[in-house]
């Protein structure tokens, strides 16, 4: 007779798997992916090390899922802002601020998502993460061009450049080697990023005259 899992057993397995993911996410938020050894994950999740590997074939697979979960939250926050009311330029400004402010408030997690050296499997998720942002910005740029608030341009290139500009601007301040930002410096950095990106996509003054 073939073995069949009962609904209760499936629910128990799903709950254990989620505990492992949540524990890993907590450890990454506290000290990056380097802080989340399998032994520490198992201890935090209150499971045996072998249980971690029963749910995930490797640490890379676990990290990839944690990366997806964490980035989904961040991408959704930016998407909500870009899809809000108001002119495309205002929505873009607000979204850039959301991205930067959330990164600055959670520098360890932001560094882990943006720049921490990771395994190739996790790096693939990072590429998808950046692409998800680029697609959101591209839609916003397309709407803005139609209403005249943004200059005609290669929206795919510009959106990728915006994502790169944000990430590179934050790498230094978010680095574990950095001393952190006080409130005024954080505000200034946020506004500088928004100003730079908006200036890059707006019509040049006097253009077409």
For the chain, domains (ranges, CATH) are: 1-56 (1.10.10.60), 60-201 (1.10.357.10)
Structure confidence at residue 208 (pLDDT): 43
What span, in angstroms and rounded, lies between the C-alpha atoms of 30 and 123? 20
Cβ atoms 82, 140 nearer than 8 A = yes
- And the tokens for 18? 């989620």
What span, in angstroms and rounded, lies between the C-alpha atoms of 190 and 195? 9
- Residue 81: count of CB within 10 angstroms of its CB: 20
What span, in angstroms and rounded, lies between the C-alpha atoms of 165 and 62? 29
In the chain, which residue ranges form alpha helices assigned H by DSSP? Answer: 7-31, 38-45, 49-55, 59-82, 88-105, 107-114, 120-147, 155-174, 183-201
What span, in angstroms and rounded, lies between the C-alpha atoms of 172 and 204? 30
pLDDT tens by residue, 108-131: 999 999 999 999 999 999 999 999
What span, in angstroms and rounded, lies between the C-alpha atoms of 205 and 182? 34
**pTM score, whole prediction:** 0.88
CA 152 to chain centre: 28
pLDDT tens by residue, 27-75: 999 999 999 999 999 999 999 999 999 999 999 999 999 999 999 999 9
What span, in angstroms and rounded, lies between the C-alpha atoms of 207 and 167? 30
Cβ atoms 189, 104 nearer than 8 A = yes
């Amino acid at each position: 007779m073939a073995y069949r899992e009962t609904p209760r057993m499936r629910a128990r397995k799903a709950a254990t798997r989620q505990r492992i993911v949540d524990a890993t996410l907590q450890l990454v938020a506290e000290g990056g992916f380097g802080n989340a050894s399998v032994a520490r994950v198992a201890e935090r999740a209150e499971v045996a090390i072998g249980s971690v590997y029963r749910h995930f074939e490797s640490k890379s697979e676990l990290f990839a899922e944690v990366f997806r979960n964490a980035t989904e939250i961040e991408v959704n926050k930016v998407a909500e802002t870009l899809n809000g009311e108001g002119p495309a330029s205002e929505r873009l400004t607000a979204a850039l601020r959301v991205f930067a402010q959330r990164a600055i408030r959670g520098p360890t997690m932001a560094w882990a998502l943006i720049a921490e050296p990771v395994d190739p499997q996790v790096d693939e998720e990072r590429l998808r993460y950046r692409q998800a942002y680029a697609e959101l910005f591209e839609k916003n740029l397309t709407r803005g061009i139609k209403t005249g608030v943004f200059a005609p341009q290669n929206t795919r290139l510009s959106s990728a450049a915006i994502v790169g500009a944000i990430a590179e601007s934050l790498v230094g301040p978010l680095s574990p080697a950095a001393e952190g930002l006080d409130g005024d410096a954080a505000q200034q950095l946020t506004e500088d990023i928004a100003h730079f990106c908006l200036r890059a996509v707006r019509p040049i003054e006097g253009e077409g005259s």
